[in-house]
Amino acid sequence: MAILTKMCVLTSVLRSRIWTLKKCHPLPSTFLPTKHFSTTLVARDTSNGPWLSATPRVCLHDVPTILRAGGLKPNAPVTLTADLLDENGKQFCSHAHYISDAEGDVDVTLAPSVGGSYKGVFPAGLLTTLAPAPHEFPLLRLYRRDPQLPWKITVKVVEGHQPLGSQQEAVSEVHLERHLMGRGVRRVPLREGRVRATLFLPPGPGPFPGVIDMFGTAGGLMEFRAAMMASRGIATMALAYFAFEDLPKTTERFDLEYFAEAAELLMSQEGVVPDRCGIVGVSKAADIAFTLATWMAEVKAVVSISGSPVAYDSIITYQGKTILEGFKMDMSVLRLDEHGRLYPLREMIQLLTPDHPKFIPINLADDDTYFLVVGGDDDAWSCDVPVHSVRERMEMFGRTEKLETKVYPGAGHILEPPYGALIHHSYHRHLPVVGGEDGSERVTGVPILWGGQPAEHCAVQEDLWPRMRNFLMKHIRDESPWYQQHKIN
């Protein structure tokens, strides 16, 4: 109860700070005049004097952009800055200190940052380290709520080594436009039966592999990854499963038939492979993905990202019967770090061994069902442990040929498509943890520590993104009997 009391006090202080920031630091309602954005791929001022280029300037968000500056004083300190506003008008920014070379140039692929938001040679550093501006609430999470809107990011070069938020006038700037939806991708809201989702279809007639995409305890409907997957040829359904419209408010109880209904709806769409589908489950959603693959024959490929093969805090029913009762996490296993951010004891996660009675029996999945299970070793929620547990479980039953696992060094909990900001910590609305002797006090609205080192985390996302797409393409489309017949016909 002492921990719960501390959390309640901290939450009250944070909410008070949000109100103060809104009152004291109003932000403009628009980002930049549209005239600043051209259609060229490289933006560069070719007149005499300092210049800054971005290659490409306009691109999909999973494409790296290389920044170069020139026309600067030789061997002089300069600062590169990045700045954007999200849909709520909240400002995020980053900065890096460089030394120009003898020619007065800075190439981020070669030159190391000597200070600022990151150090060392880190080409994607400005994007990866974007964080709430000094005047904003520090636990804001940066993500695009409407994937139809591109990220518009202002990058500037400033003379001298300037602090974050400096008002020093830029000597040159460029405006990036990074899209989450490729040209021709179709966004289709779905409200059929109980299903609450948004479908993203790649351009063209298909057939495309179909994938259900689910996030963790953030709740609601998050669409940006589904939009990016569709931009790379995968028909993707962003599926809400709690804390959205008329769906359950918490993660206490789920009916597997809801997810089966969503899978059937996905496979029934025109242009989608109709005989099998896959699931990407992050964090809390992974246990649902594991369960669905075990009980539903049409699910042939599961990607678990920072997830667990034990259903934390959830009872899962199917056809009117309870098939799983998850592990209850209580306040005794949680700790606060020096900044008041919540994380669980690693010893608690290590208790979930391969023979744990709550382990989802993924070894019973069909022989043609495959799993890709990944996690980071810098995850504050120790989700590298379940990666090893899944492998050991499949080894016990001689099923390792159906499994690919990887623990990534330096990666935190929230692994997303590449070149998004590292979410090292955030203010979290929902958490499957209870407090009080009778379990009546639920933990909501708390600061959470997620972990991750910027450069390592970025490299991991660069590796995982194509690995995941190739895995899904292979086991959903290429190995589909229907698709093989379709190619013949």
pLDDT at 17 over 90: no
pLDDT in tens, 290-321: 999 999 999 999 999 999 999 988 999 999 99
Whole-Å CA distances, 148 to 179, 186, 266: 8, 10, 21
- State residue 15 phi and psi, 5-degree precision: -65, -40
Q: Choose between 148 and 46: higher pLDDT.
A: 148
pTM of the shown model = 0.88
pLDDT, the chain, mean:
89
CATH of 30-179, one of 1.10.220.10, 1.20.120.1760, 2.30.30.90, 2.60.40.2240: 2.60.40.2240
Residues with a catalytic annotation lie at: 283, 378, 413
Query: Looking at residue 329, what is its pLDDT?
Result: 77
Domain boundaries along the sequence of the chain: 30-179, 186-478
Confidence of residue 441 (pLDDT cuts 50, 70, 90): low
Domains 30-179 and 186-478 share a fold: no
pLDDT in tens, 152-182: 999 999 999 999 999 999 999 999 999 999 9
CB 100 within 8 A of CB 78: yes
3-state DSSP assignment of residue 99:
strand
Question: What tokens does 151 get?
Answer: 């990220």
Query: Looking at residue 444, what is its pLDDT?
Result: 62
Q: Choose between 432 and 461: higher pLDDT.
A: 461
pLDDT in tens, 200-243: 999 999 999 999 999 999 899 999 999 999 999 999 999 999 99
What type of residue sits at position 396?
M
DSSP one-letter string for 60-105: ETTS--EEEEESPPTT-EEEEEEEEE-TTS-EEEEEEEEE--TTS-
CATH of domain 186-478: 3.40.50.1820
Query: Looking at residue 32, what is its pLDDT?
Result: 27
pLDDT in tens, 42-96: 444 445 799 999 999 999 999 999 999 999 999 999 999 999 999 999 999 999 9
pLDDT in tens, 374-431: 999 999 999 999 999 999 999 999 999 999 999 999 999 999 999 999 999 999 876 6
- C-alpha dihedral sign at 367, 368, 372, 373: negative
pLDDT in tens, 446-488: 899 999 999 999 999 999 999 999 999 999 999 999 999 999 9
Query: Looking at residue 431, what is its pLDDT?
Result: 64
CB 446 within 8 A of CB 7: yes
Confidence of residue 432 (pLDDT cuts 50, 70, 90): low
pLDDT at 442 over 70: no
What is the mean pLDDT of the segment spanning 177-196? Answer: 97
Confidence of residue 330 (pLDDT cuts 50, 70, 90): confident
